[in-house]
A and B are shown apart, each in its own frame.
Chain A
Amino acid sequence: MKRIHYSLLEGRVGYYATLAILGAIAGAGVLAAWYMEHHGHIVTGMTNQIVWGMPHVFAVFLIVAASGVLNVASIGTVFNKTPYKPLGRLSAIMAMAVLAGGLTALVLDLGRPDRLIVAMTKYNFKSIFAWNIYLYNGFFAVVLLYLYTQMSSKFQVRRYYKAAGTLAFVWRLILTTGTGSIFGWLVARQGYDLAIYAPMFIALSFSFGLAFFLIMLISLYRLTERPLGNGLINRAGRLLGVFVAAAFYFVAVQHLTNFYAAEHQGVEHFLLFGGNVYSFLFWAGFVLVGTIIPFVMVFSKSAKTSMKPVFIASLLVVLGGLSLIYVIIIGGQAYPLVLFPGKEVSSSFFEGMINPYTPSFPEIVLGASGFAIAALITVLATKVLPLMPKSLADADVDPHLVIKDADVVEMKKAA
């Protein structure tokens, strides 16, 4: 590997225009939160039946993705894969940015966001939520340390680069376990209460995170016209394919396990074959758009000569991921709580009924602003810190990635 040179993000007009667009979306999210806080959650689609809504869908997606974004750095540091090493800095800063975006959407949806300080000062250590507050804050600290060991010019600091990277990798695995357990440890609900939620969320984080990272990486390098090797993107794209397959495996096992138990067949029928928004988002959103199509695209021949398939596949993985999280969070609540198994029930509190949910505009804006905040922090950070390698051309990253011209011509002919 040649010595990698990092530099600050260039550009003035384009840079400020990007900041303005992302800032406007993030600002709209804050306004939406203010509107919700001012009027109460009555202005959202959330109810006493669907208590977690759209902000949670985006927030959970981003929190899960954040730890996955860090994988790119871990693959270089912990698993010693040369082509990923130059991406370590960007991966670390983006992981923190994505987590910040997700957490912002989450805390601004609280009924009392002004009491955030309470969540930071009063803890119930039996709550996985309380543990997550430590895990999220710790993630920022550990990743910042990891980034420092990557960027320092001092050998005495850089020598701890692998140790810090390993710590960050272990931390992110625990963090995603905590996020999955928010659902896995909900004993009362038919769609949750499964130990597989923790490893499933880890697998999902691998695919969501890498997809998000690739979208940002390709966009940043295209917009700044820096060299970016197709071999590198192709290799990361194929890894994305493996992650997508792994995530699908866990989701399949989760549903098969739940389906096997007669007591859970009701919720499984409802989510997968109910002919409703959830079954549509599961099959069309997650399985087709988020799994099958990107899987085929990243392993296609055209992915060897062009970045487009990997870029589009990454976008589809994000869309499919949001669909799946919607099915998990909203679908899991739409199916009624079972107080009397096997009995018909009715009450003034919508007992036994499928709970409807129509997200309102403010809550969608608040959720989506999490993405803008993540991108905004990343762009700002690359402007002030040397995080982006000047060149990610294959020859500069890893000579093994360079495809011979003759091969390209041959592949183009075949295509």
Chain B
Amino acid sequence: MTSHSPDTRVDEARREFMKKSAAAGVIALAPGVTLMTMSSEAAAKADPKKRWGMLIDTTVCKSGCDKCVAACKAENGWEAKAGSPTDPQWIRKVDVKDPKTGFAMSLPVMCQHCANPPCVDVCPTGASMKRADGIVLVNRHICIGCRYCMMACPYKARSFEHHEVPEEEKAPWAPRGQGTVEACTMCVHRVDAGGIPACAEACDKGAILFGDLNDPDSDISKRLASGPSYQIRADLGADPGVRYARLP
């Protein structure tokens, strides 16, 4: 007898199916990239006992004054041509007016360094991250440029690099590159070296007070304890680290 049982017969259909679907199923991933990890040195400087923040005295901030913006541009090497919808803006002056009362004021808006940052929640790769000391950053080495963080940020604090950034414009402490997202770093390079952010330093009215929100003896904590302060869109529960002495 040469006949064989159905059980031992080669499953031709399966063999064919496997062969063809395997051939079709090969997915060519993007060429491997060399991943650089965040500088462990910088991460080591983030003290989990601290929470860096700012108090902006909007009672003295004047419309038309943009010294904080200019200082940020000079410090971090970004430029925004007037009217360009694609140029980055790490910090901007916003004029706000109550149409019912006519009361108007001006204030700087930058990354608010939230305790519960929506940008960090949505980032698929973890490029958008919060340091132990509360500073929210983009790890430019693993940002894939999906812009989901820009969709999620309630403060419009983030910008996408729409074109190549010339090498001479890049500051060594503020890596910027085409196709990735960037924002205010709270001048983390200065803070880690014991300094204060460029915007706070540049404000000749002393309207931007920088300090450790967790330290009850810091100037910022004392000021916050002595009077009211407000967060933009506090209702969202993101708990920004940037507070304002007055909001419209």
Q: Which residue of B87, B88, B124, B232 contacts A127 across the interface (Cβ within 8 Å)?
A: B124
Please determine whether A339 and B180 come into contact, CB atoms closer than 8 angstroms: no
Interface string of B31-58 (1 = CB under 8 A from A): 1110100000000000000000000000
Given A40-B161, A118-B125, A385-B20, A127 and B148 touching (CB < 8 A)? yes
Q: Which residue of B30, B126, B164 contacts A124 across the interface (Cβ within 8 Å)?
A: B126
Please determine whether B17 and A151 come into contact, CB atoms closer than 8 angstroms: yes
Q: Which residue of B29, B126, B162, B232 contacts A123 across the interface (Cβ within 8 Å)?
A: B126
Residues of A within 8 A of B74 (CB): none
A3 within 8 A of B: no
B197 within 8 A of A: no
CB distance from A282 to the nearest CB of B (A): 21
Q: Which residue of A123, A129, A333 contacts B122 across the interface (Cβ within 8 Å)?
A: A129
Please, how many angstroms separate the alpha-carbon atoms of A115 and B147 in the complex? 14
Please, how many angstroms separate the alpha-carbon atoms of A111 and B97 in the complex? 36
Given A110-B144, A151-B13, A340 and B121 touching (CB < 8 A)? no
Please, how many angstroms separate the alpha-carbon atoms of A144 and B181 in the complex? 36
Please determine whether A347 and B11 come into contact, CB atoms closer than 8 angstroms: no
Interface centre among A52, A140, A348, A355 (most CB of B within 10 A): A348
CB distance from A158 to the nearest CB of B (A): 10
Interface centre among B31, B142, B145 (most CB of A within 10 A): B145
Contact sample, A vs B, 17 pairs, CB 8 Å cutoff: A48-B86, A111-B147, A111-B161, A112-B180, A114-B33, A116-B29, A118-B144, A122-B125, A148-B14, A187-B152, A338-B233, A340-B232, A344-B99, A351-B92, A356-B85, A385-B17, A385-B20
Nearest CB in chain B to that of A37: its residue:
B179
Q: Is the interface of B mostly helix, strand, loop or mixed?
A: loop
Nearest CB in chain B to that of A100: its residue:
B27
Please determine whether B14 and A51 come into contact, CB atoms closer than 8 angstroms: no
Which residues of chain A (355-391) have a CB below 8 Å from chain B? 355-356, 377, 380-381, 384-385
Q: Which residue of B30, B120, B153 contacts A114 across the interface (Cβ within 8 Å)?
A: B30
CB distance from A145 to the nearest CB of B (A): 11
Nearest CB in chain A to that of B150: its residue:
A51
Interface string of B70-88 (1 = CB under 8 A from A): 0000000000101001111
Please, how many angstroms separate the alpha-carbon atoms of A51 and B142 in the complex? 19
Q: How large is the interface on B (under 10, 10 to 19, 20 to 34, 35 or more residues)?
A: 35 or more
Task: For the complex of A and B, list the 6 residue pairs with the smallest distance between their C-beta atoms, beginning with the closest.
Answer: A111-B145, A111-B179, A188-B154, A129-B124, A47-B85, A40-B163
Nearest CB in chain B to that of A148: its residue:
B17
Please determine whether B95 and A346 come into contact, CB atoms closer than 8 angstroms: yes
Nearest CB in chain B to that of A40: its residue:
B163
A345 within 8 A of B: yes
Residues of A within 8 A of B94 (CB): 339, 345-347, 349, 351
A117 within 8 A of B: yes
Q: Which residues of A contact B (CB under 8 A)?
A: 37, 39-42, 46-49, 51-52, 110-120, 122-124, 126-130, 133, 140, 144, 147-148, 151-154, 157, 182, 185-189, 333, 337-340, 342-351, 355-356, 377, 380-381, 384-385
Please determine whether B125 and A40 come into contact, CB atoms closer than 8 angstroms: no
Nearest CB in chain B to that of A53: its residue:
B147
Please determine whether A343 and B97 come into contact, CB atoms closer than 8 angstroms: yes
Which residues of chain B (120-168) have a CB below 8 Å from chain A? 120-126, 142-148, 150-156, 159-164
Nearest CB in chain B to that of A106: its residue:
B146
Q: For the A-B complex with A48-B86, A119-B125, A385-B17 known, give 15 more contacts whose Cβ atoms are closer than 8 Å.
A: A48-B159, A51-B151, A110-B146, A111-B143, A111-B146, A111-B160, A111-B179, A114-B30, A116-B30, A117-B30, A124-B123, A339-B154, A344-B97, A346-B94, A381-B24
Residues of A within 8 A of B247 (CB): 340
Please determine whether B30 and A115 come into contact, CB atoms closer than 8 angstroms: yes
Please determine whether B96 and A340 come into contact, CB atoms closer than 8 angstroms: yes
B185 within 8 A of A: no
CB distance from B80 to the nearest CB of A (A): 7
B98 within 8 A of A: yes
Given A153-B11, A343-B248, A117 and B32 touching (CB < 8 A)? yes
Nearest CB in chain B to that of A329: its residue:
B151
Please, how many angstroms separate the alpha-carbon atoms of A112 and B80 in the complex? 22
Please determine whether A127 and B159 come into contact, CB atoms closer than 8 angstroms: no
Given A117-B29, A118-B33, A348 and B80 touching (CB < 8 A)? yes
Please determine whether A112 and B179 come into contact, CB atoms closer than 8 angstroms: yes
Which residues of chain B (175-226) have a CB below 8 Å from chain A? 178-181
Nearest CB in chain B to that of A41: its residue:
B162
Q: Which residue of B99, B123, B145, B151 contacts A343 across the interface (Cβ within 8 Å)?
A: B99
Please determine whether A384 and B20 come into contact, CB atoms closer than 8 angstroms: yes
Please, how many angstroms separate the alpha-carbon atoms of A3 and B125 in the complex? 49
Please, how many angstroms separate the alpha-carbon atoms of A129 and B149 in the complex? 11
B241 within 8 A of A: no
CB distance from B54 to the nearest CB of A (A): 16
Please determine whether B232 and A339 come into contact, CB atoms closer than 8 angstroms: yes
Residues of A within 8 A of B82 (CB): 348
Nearest CB in chain A to that of B88: its residue:
A48
CB distance from B88 to the nearest CB of A (A): 7
Please, how many angstroms separate the alpha-carbon atoms of A76 and B178 in the complex? 48
Please determine whether B233 and A153 come into contact, CB atoms closer than 8 angstroms: no
Please determine whether A157 and B89 come into contact, CB atoms closer than 8 angstroms: no
Q: Which residue of B25, B30, B178 contacts A111 across the interface (Cβ within 8 Å)?
A: B178
Residues of B within 8 A of A344 (CB): 96-99
Please, how many angstroms separate the alpha-carbon atoms of A119 and B125 in the complex? 6
Q: Which residue of A40, A333, A347, A381 contacts B93 across the interface (Cβ within 8 Å)?
A: A347
Please, how many angstroms separate the alpha-carbon atoms of A112 and B178 in the complex? 8
Residues of B within 8 A of A112 (CB): 143-145, 179-180
Please determine whether A42 and B86 come into contact, CB atoms closer than 8 angstroms: yes
CB distance from B2 to the nearest CB of A (A): 21
